[in-house]
Structure 1
């Protein structure tokens, strides 16, 4: 995945407790389950949508007006949202390499991605987002009283020629009470 300047904020600017979570190469879901036993997934939206401007090139769309399949979920601990996750892929990918995504329901996307050995992942990219970014605004629809800036990370997953872009926005209850980095699995 190309690392545009907008998705390459220096990691040293992130809160120290959040840095290990932003750079975690393994399954974020598995790590959350290890630290938050009351973990669950709440689906906020799933279906066709117009991609955000910074997603078009990442998933190799021919034009920005082309619709994509999206999935938006909250990763929760009890009733506390920890992460707002937003995934996009071309519709054709639901008929091939990413077919199971259409049937996940309240299961985590990570449970599929990290259990499928043929799926490859790009390097992670991260940035701070604010109310000007569509994902901050989407997170604000589900979580009250967000701070002015949030941290997000994203990466591409490849299944053959198909691409899935996953962006995870870390919510304030999460990084305010993030488990210590040395307790990470």
Structure 2
């Protein structure tokens, strides 16, 4: 996937830094409920939820990911990209990354998830602490071509356990807002 030009990088902000904040319903999905997004999507889809893996490989991490993980610019990392789907429709594009050095030192088999939700694993393991949620508009050229759209809201947070940090970004796709009966 191509890297965005420096001017196209997302501007990840905490809830208190968003001016003006998005509409209350959108703000709620981005910040208010900090439980597992997977659980919320299962409920919204009336148990018609699935995970469709798109890509899982070692890659050079993006600049904003390196900064969030506190690793050197250009570091290698494990990257997992999936669709979180409701009723077989992509509702959320999720990109999860971890620095290669920290992941190889851990006992986490993140490459063994298959169609399981990473959120399910992270939220079921009390050893992981979740950092603050941040939100931004997501660069369209970072999305899979099939769902590429400008100005989509995304959120991200870092889950940490010892020296391992997993950065999870979730991009809310247009079909999600239709299902949630909200206008982004």
Give TM class, smaller chain.
0.7 to 0.9
1:120 is displaced (CA, Å) by 0.2
1:179 is displaced (CA, Å) by 5.4
Deviation sequence 1:81-136 (CA, Å, 0-9, x none) = 1100001101233334461311100000011000001100001010123xxx3xx3
Tell me if 1:50 matches 2:60.
yes
Within a 5 Å distance, the mapping from 1:130-141 to structure 2 comes to 133=139, 136-141=140-145
With 89-98 and 70-79 compared, the bigger mean Cα shift is at: 89-98
Do the aligned residues in 1 keep the contact of 2:63 with 2:74 (CA within 8 Å)?
A: no
Secondary structure, counterpart of 1:14 in structure 2 = coil
Tell me if 1:71 matches 2:80.
yes
Change beyond 3 A, Cα 1:73–1:10: same
Correspondence for 2:30: 22
Do the aligned residues in 2 keep the contact of 1:17 with 1:175 (CA within 8 Å)?
A: no
Correspondence for 1:114: 123
Do the aligned residues in 1 keep the contact of 2:79 with 2:97 (CA within 8 Å)?
A: yes
Give the Cα separation in 1 of the matches to 2:176 and 2:167: 22
Within a 5 Å distance, the mapping from 1:1-185 to structure 2 comes to 6-8=11-13, 10=18, 12-23=20-31, 24-36=33-45, 37-62=47-72, 64-97=73-106, 99-129=108-138, 133=139, 136-143=140-147, 146=149, 148-178=150-180
With 51-60 and 38-47 compared, the bigger mean Cα shift is at: 51-60
Q: Runs of 5+ in structure 1 lacking a partner?
A: 181-185
Secondary structure, counterpart of 1:154 in structure 2 = strand
Between Structure 1 and Structure 2, how many residues are aligned? Answer: 168
Do the aligned residues in 1 keep the contact of 2:62 with 2:74 (CA within 8 Å)?
A: no
Question: Stretches of 4+ moved more than 6 A in 1?
Answer: none
How big is the alpha-carbon RMSD for the aligned residues of Structure 1 and Structure 2? 2.0
Q: Runs of 5+ in structure 2 lacking a partner?
A: 1-9
TM-score by length of 2: 0.83
Change beyond 3 A, Cα 1:67–1:106: same
TM-score by length of 1: 0.82
Give the Cα separation in 1 of the matches to 2:115 and 2:142: 19
Deviation sequence 1:38-96 (CA, Å, 0-9, x none) = 1000001001111111111111212x222111000000012211100001101233334
Secondary structure, counterpart of 2:67 in structure 1 = coil
Change beyond 3 A, Cα 1:72–1:11: farther
